[in-house]
Structure 1
Amino acid sequence: MTPPLISIIVPCYNQAEYLDECLQSVLDQTYYNWECIIVNDGSSDNTEIVAQQWLNKDGRFKYSAKENAGLSAARNTGIANTNGEFILPLDADDKIGKDYCTKAIEVFQQDSNLKVVYCRAEKFGKYEREWILPPFNLKNLADNNLIFCSAFFKRIDGEKVGFYDEKMIYGLEDWDFWISLLKNGGEVKRIDLVLFYYRTKDSSMITLLKSEKQEEMHKYISLKHAEFFVNTYGSFMRNNSELISLKKEYSSNIKSKKYVIDLFCKTFFGFTFFRKFKG
């Protein structure tokens, strides 16, 4: 029986210098039934020339060019031009381990309730270390994005939420997508292997510009997913009441001489030593 088709979506905006390394990691997959579409998002570099070399190398690579409209629009364009049952977004400057597709499909086949499958990750480039992210649960997802972009999801589930929101032009599009996909239920599995590699680089003017605009994106997500955040954190009045209660407790503790002495000794001498000394 033919294994399910995986569509790997690689948007590229002026990142031709990294594209070979990214696409080589796709070609190296131990899973063979994949297609990979390179989406040239209005690049001014030699992205098209590099992409064409890969089309000539393997027929599973495809190419699409469009005017620059941001990462969400580029991913949606790629998805619209593919047919896979499973989708894997992959940024042009990142790469994946050779067993990522194989392991992900194995996990999906073991649990029909799964909506998202991802893995452990490492950062490489300017900084090299494991990328430590908190475990998945809806509370942690509400706090911040904890699933990088290169996670697998089913096309049918992506269709239900309209894939990526093209209004998210200043970043946080992955966080918005995972909330949309998971806020009404569905299981998530992290493979306990490092199979994704995230490139780190020096900060650029584009990065700085995006950081200045992220507050706008935070407000947009807060309004779009207001019910999710209320269900996760509770109402404003309840949170405010809890905050007031904590402030009162903190104020009361600070006024307590015993609390201050105990805290000081725990911090500077160690609680066990202090208790023995007093005894």
Structure 2
Amino acid sequence: MPTVSVVIPCYNQGRYLDEAVDSVLAQTFRDFEIIVIDDGSTDEETIRLLSSFSRPGTRVIRTPNQGLAEARNTGIREARGKYILPLDADDRISPGYLEKAVAVLDARPAAGIVYCLAETFGARQGLWPAPEYSLRRMLLGNIIFCSALFRREDWEEVGGYNRNMAVGWEDWDFWLSLIERGREVFRIPEVLFFYRVKEGSMAASMDAAKKAAMHLRVMENHPQLFVANALPLLMLYYRVTGSRPYRLLKALRVPYLVGRVMAGGKGER
């Protein structure tokens, strides 16, 4: 059984897939498998590439289009490794990433999320803002990119990536699920991950109203975590309700979250 399973969802991103897979095959840590999930691609170039895609230690699994969160879940269900690294089909990792991240999880039984410094490339180049982890920062917004190493057993315990995050931010929601179960977060202080920025990407094109709605969805999925940490909750609350689409919710959402905590509620999965 491999130590690490690298799960790469691919939806119409065939033009970039070789770069992502090559970055995994170049790892100094060799005990891994690669699982590519063809998430119902419709692009002819991607379909043609994946129909005959053959790389060492790599499997391709084809599914109907189900979105990024469930595509990752599908890949992890098929994974044999005890550690999981999600990697988007248009991103890359440095040759030493797996070696250094695996060493952290091996040495720290309480650690559950290992990430690193990162850079962007493509339409925008520069340092990715990946600050040192703190719960307060994490509740104000995601500071951990999707390609952090975690334990498969933790994924099983929390029920995987939440399917109600179908339009984005499923990684933030997932990290919070691990954190609220007591897992520690460790940042490697080196640039080992490279995030491709494309014109019109999902993250760049999300408007203010949708961002506010997604903030609230994450809060609803983790009411105990937000309410138990009152200061970050209030800071996020005023940040969200300060935007026009959510002023009408100002008198409703905090009482609603508190009510969910009192009732022991959790977000739907």
Q: Shared fold (TM-score greater than 0.5)? A: yes
Give the equivalent residue in structure 1 for 2:32. 34
1:141 shift after superposition: 0.7
Pick aligned residue for 1:9 from 7, 10, 28:
7
Unaligned runs of 5+ in 2: 239-269
Q: Which moved more, 1:31-40 or 1:106-115?
A: 106-115
Cα 1:234–1:111 change in 2 (3 A) is same
Q: Is the 8 A contact 1:7 1:34 kept in 2?
A: yes
Give the equivalent residue in structure 2 for 1:50. 49
**Structure 1 residues 239-258: aligned runs within 5 Å:** none
Partners of 2:204 and 2:179 lie apart in 1 by 28
Cα 1:124–1:214 change in 2 (3 A) is same
Q: Is the 8 A contact 2:180 2:225 kept in 1?
A: yes
Partners of 1:94 and 1:133 lie apart in 2 by 16
Aligned CA-pair RMSD:
2.3
Partners of 1:114 and 1:178 lie apart in 2 by 12
Give the equivalent residue in structure 1 for 2:225. 228
Aligned AA for 1:85? K
Q: TM-score, normalised by structure 1?
A: 0.78
1:81 shift after superposition: 1.0
Cα 1:205–1:191 change in 2 (3 A) is closer
Aligned AA for 2:90? D
Q: Which moved more, 1:196-205 or 1:109-118?
A: 196-205
Unaligned runs of 5+ in 1: 244-279
Cα 1:161–1:206 change in 2 (3 A) is closer
Q: Is the 8 A contact 1:7 1:36 kept in 2?
A: yes
1:21 shift after superposition: 0.8
Aligned AA for 1:47? T
Q: Is the 8 A contact 1:85 1:156 kept in 2?
A: yes
Higher CA-based Rg: 1
Partners of 2:83 and 2:202 lie apart in 1 by 34
Higher normalized helix content (fraction of residues) = 1
Give the equivalent residue in structure 1 for 2:92. 95
Give the equivalent residue in structure 2 for 1:144. 141
Give the equivalent residue in structure 1 for 2:251. none
Partners of 2:102 and 2:155 lie apart in 1 by 17
